[in-house]
């Protein structure tokens, strides 16, 4: 059993919404959406709105497998994508303008936690039912082409306790 790295705890630190374009964002993927390293990752592993990710500036890929203080998702895969891989804007039906960005959203036991958010005409979309299914699919397909496989499903790795080096 792995212990929660101390660097994951917020401990009074404030959100940091400065993201470099080449910063990686990590996302855990359940085995139901990615069973084997050689398989493609299903689009259902990518969701909107408010897709939960973890920042490489403050975390290692295996830290995504924690839920609170428990290494609950040890058999899940982990993928990554660069901040500048997030499709920034999509037009829908020639009328609606959707934009997308990432926000640092620390949790008490997960300071690196962030969210990829969707906005319709500048208004934060918080319910998936508010996104047109075709728009959602187009966005997920674009992002899926930029995913990097980092940790395979059921891949055992040592959980690093030290924080990533800050550039």
Looking up tokens 């790295």 gives: 5
At residue 126, the pLDDT reads 86
At residue 72, the pLDDT reads 94
pLDDT, tens only, 34-69: 999 999 999 999 988 899 999 999 999 999 999 988
Q: How far apart are CA 47 and CA 139, in angstroms?
A: 9
pLDDT, tens only, 79-133: 999 999 999 988 877 778 889 999 999 999 999 999 999 998 889 998 777 788 8
Answer whether residue 1 shows pLDDT above 80.
Answer: no
pLDDT, tens only, 4-41: 999 999 999 999 999 999 999 999 999 999 999 999 99
At residue 49, the pLDDT reads 86
At residue 59, the pLDDT reads 98
At residue 128, the pLDDT reads 75
Of the listed ranges 7-11, 38-42, 72-76, 135-139, the least confidently predicted one is 135-139
HEC-encoded secondary structure of the chain: CCCCCHHHCCCCCCCCCCCCCCCEEEEEECCCCCCCCCCCCCHHHCCCCCEEEEECCCCCHHHHHCECCECCCCCCEEEEEEHHHCCCEEEECCCEEEEEEEEECCECCECCEEEEEEEECCEEECCHHHCCHHHHHHHHHHHHCCCEEEECCCCCCCCCCCCCCCC
Give the mean model confidence (pLDDT) for residues 149-159: 96
Categorize the per-residue pLDDT at 157 as very low, low, confident or very high, splitting at 50, 70 and 90.
Answer: very high
């Amino acid at each position: 059993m792995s212990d929660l790295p101390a660097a994951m705890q917020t401990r009074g630190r404030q959100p940091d919404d400065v993201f470099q374009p080449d910063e990686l964002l990590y996302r855990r993927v359940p085995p139901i959406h990615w069973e084997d390293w050689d398989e493609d990752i299903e689009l259902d592993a990518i969701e909107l709105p408010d897709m939960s990710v973890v920042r490489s500036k403050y975390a290692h890929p295996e830290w995504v497998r924690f839920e609170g203080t428990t290494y609950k998702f040890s058999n899940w895969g982990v993928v990554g994508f660069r901040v500048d891989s997030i499709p920034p804007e999509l037009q829908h039906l020639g009328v609606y303008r959707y934009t997308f960005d990432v926000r640092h959203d620390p949790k008490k036991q997960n300071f690196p936690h962030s969210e990829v958010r969707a906005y319709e005409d500048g208004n934060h979309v918080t319910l998936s039912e508010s996104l047109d299914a075709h728009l959602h699919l187009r966005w997920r397909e674009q992002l899926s082409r930029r995913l990097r496989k980092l940790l395979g499903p059921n891949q055992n790795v040592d959980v690093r306790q030290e924080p990533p080096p800050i550039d």
